[in-house]
Amino acid sequence: MRGFKAAEVATIPLDRVTILVGANGCGKSSVLQAIHWSARAASYVLPKNTKEMISFERLDYVPSSEPLTTLHKGELKSDAGSTPVEVIFAHKPAGEETVQVTVRIRAARNRGGITAYMDGGAAVTPYKQRYQFITAYIPGLAGLAEKESILAQPTLRRQAASGLIETKES
pLDDT reported for residue 170: 45
**CA–CA distance from 9 to each of 26, 41, 76, 93, 125 (Å)?**
11, 20, 16, 25, 25
- Give the CA count within 13 Å in the CB-facing half-sphere of 164: 15
Rounded to the nearest angstrom, the gap between the alpha carbon of residue 59 and the centroid of all alpha carbons in its chain is 11
For 50, left (φ over 0), alpha (ψ -120 to 50), or beta? alpha
pLDDT reported for residue 130: 65
> Domain boundaries in the chain?
2-162
Instruction: Give the other-Cβ count within 10 Å of 11's Cβ.
Output: 9
Q: Name the nearest CA neighbour of 62 among 105, 19, 20, 27.
A: 105
Residue pair 115/54 in contact by the 8 Å Cβ criterion: yes
For the chain, 170 residues long, give each residue's pLDDT as a single digit of tens.
Answer: 999 999 999 999 988 888 888 898 888 889 989 998 998 899 899 888 999 999 998 888 888 889 999 999 999 999 999 999 999 999 888 888 888 999 999 999 999 999 999 999 777 877 777 666 667 665 555 554 545 555 556 666 666 666 655 545 54
